[in-house]
Amino acid sequence: MPQIFLDGQAFEARTEQTVLQVALEHGVFIPRLCWHPKLSVAGNCRICVVQVEGRSWVEIACNMPVSEGLRVLTDSPLVREHRKATMQFITLNHPVDCGICDKAGECTLQDYHVAFNGEASISREPKVQATKFHRLSERITLDNERCILCTRCVRFTREVSKSNALGVKNRGDHSLIRPAEGDDVRLLDDDAYSENIVDICPVGALLSTRLLYKERVWYLQATPSVCPGCARGCAIDVWHRKPEWKLRTLDARHNTAIVRVTPRDNPAVNGPWICNKGRDLALLLERPRADAALRKGRAVALDEALAAARELIGRARHPVALVSSWGSDEELAALDDALGDRFTCFVKDDHLPADGEVVEDDLLIRADKNPNGRTARARFGHQALQFAPDTDLVLVWGEGCDFGRLPRGVPVIFLNAFLAAENGHAEVFFPTSVHTERDGHFTNADGVRSAFSRCVDRPTGVVDAERVFRALASVPAGVAP
């Protein structure tokens, strides 16, 4: 392994690495705008310049291979001079609209301007004007005046998502990011990973249309979580309003709403990417919620509902449970411990692929649209659902059950998080929490166990399924409590 020197300090490197990679790996900061660890080297921005000792010029670190004994200066006077000039060039035509830009607070260009330039433009020429609010796809709005042509977005669609949706049109200061095939936005619309280009854009050029001018990042906090959209179980950050910035005069739902979802880098599962379905988690979890326990459609206290469910379980001789593949590891364990010996259990799919959804691909998306089917089937088996003629009680946990196929006249205990007609048809109904309202774990299809954390409190009247199962601990068959 070659040894190189950064600012006089020796570091071990791998032969395939660049100076920038070695520096970042060992905590030596070198700025970068166009470089991304999962994309090819473009060398567009020139902000990562360093100086090799003994030379009177600078070179870009992102494309400088390591060699034995290489001695590099990352912050020499010459390097600082060139970085300042580079920032002047990059911001030459960049609009000074940071106050209204959705990237404010997360903008790399803002940070570098303060760190390496911090001065007004020396140019006296009018800034070149370009298209604003250009519809790049249904999900993404492009502001070409803010674009610094780092081409991260272009390289992403060519190298990661493989949609080849974007390219650069024209030359010089008239260059524009545009759909690769004229003005046809369908390639990017059909790209199941397109919103990743919003994350990797280092400036405010690429913006989520749904979130445009909706929130400021400094009002939000990110909670580590897991995407439940498929058996991949991607690591994500769920962004929601900070308690100290609680809104008091607007709709209280703003204080608990999922504002956005972004990938949390996890090399064992998803790397730095997630699909667009993961971005839409709010649309799934913020449907109208059930918030009251029911007995034959009548709202009752939780204790009364638990007592009624215990009575049904105590009378049953051949009960069946339909197990949710959206349940956490902890909830599945609680069901197994409390009722596994009394019930014949079948694992069901809570969700199936929706019309038009990408079912499976070679990057992240898995055909199983449930986050914890592996653990559920490991505990309760893989047998196909089949009701015996003597089935006398059915416990249904979660979505995806066709109540019309349940045995006629058999009482049902139902656990569900959302409003549904079936809630009132069950003998006993429990309104349950969603995974952003509790701590727990999902185990994905490859056996990787990932933790998720509570983002917001449960709504009043909602209970964790784990608590329900432990409260329904086994009652001997045929014996009423």
Rounded to an integer, the average pLDDT of 250-267 is 92
- Listed by start position, the domains of the chain span 3-90, 134-211, 217-285, 293-471
Encode pLDDT of 24-62 as tens digits: 999 999 999 999 999 999 999 999 999 999 999 999 999
DSSP state of 309: H
Question: pTM of this prediction?
Answer: 0.92
Task: Locate all alpha helices (DSSP H) within 274-380, ordered by sequence.
Answer: 276-279, 281-285, 302-315, 329-339, 373-380
Q: What is the pLDDT of residues 305-346, one digit of tens each?
A: 999 999 999 999 999 999 999 999 999 999 999 999 999 999
pLDDT (average), residues 107-125: 90
The hierarchical CATH code for the domain 3-90 is 3.10.20.740
Model pLDDT, residue 480:
47
pLDDT at res. 364: 97
Answer for the pair 153, 108: CB distance below 8 angstroms, yes or no: no
Angle 191-194-198 (CA atoms, 0-180°, nearest 5)?
Answer: 170
Q: How many angstroms separate the Cα of 106 from the Cα of each of 109, 204, 246?
A: 9, 9, 21
Whether pLDDT at 481 is above 50? no
Q: Between 61 and 253, where is the model more confident?
A: 61
**C-alpha distance from residue 292 to each of 415, 434, 460 (Å):** 11, 15, 8
Element of type H or E holding 238: strand 235-241
C-alpha–C-alpha distance, residues 103 and 273, integer Å: 19
When mean pLDDT is compared across 16-20, 80-84, 179-183, 438-442, the lowest value belongs to 179-183
For residue 426, report the phi and psi dihedrals to the nearest 5 degrees.
-75, 150
Q: What is the per-residue pLDDT across 127-148, written as a single tens digit (0 to 9) for each?
A: 989 999 999 999 999 999 999 9
Interstrand relation of 235-241 and 220-226 (parallel, antiparallel or unpaired) = antiparallel
> Using H for helix, E for strand and C for coil, what is the string for 450-479?
EEECCCCCCCCCCECHHHHHHHCCCCCCCC
The burial of 432, by beta-carbon neighbours within 10 Å (0-12 exposed, 13-18 middle, 19 or more buried), is given as: buried
Structure tokens at 30: 């070198």
DSSP for residue 297: T
Superfamily the domain 217-285 falls into: ADC-like domains (2.20.25.90)
Give the Cα separation of 439 and 405 in Å (integer).
33
Host H or E run for residue 22 = helix 19-25
What architecture does CATH give domain 134-211?
2-Layer Sandwich (3.30)
The count of other CB atoms within 10 Å of the CB of residue 129 is 10
Q: Using 50, 70 and 90 to split pLDDT, how confident is the model at 474?
A: low
Which H or E element spans position 80?
helix 77-90
Strands (E), 47-135: 49-52, 59-60, 71-73, 134-135
- At the second CATH level, the architecture of 293-471 is 3-Layer(aba) Sandwich (3.40)
475 confidence band (pLDDT: 50, 70, 90): low
**Helix or strand holding residue 11 (H, E):** strand 9-12
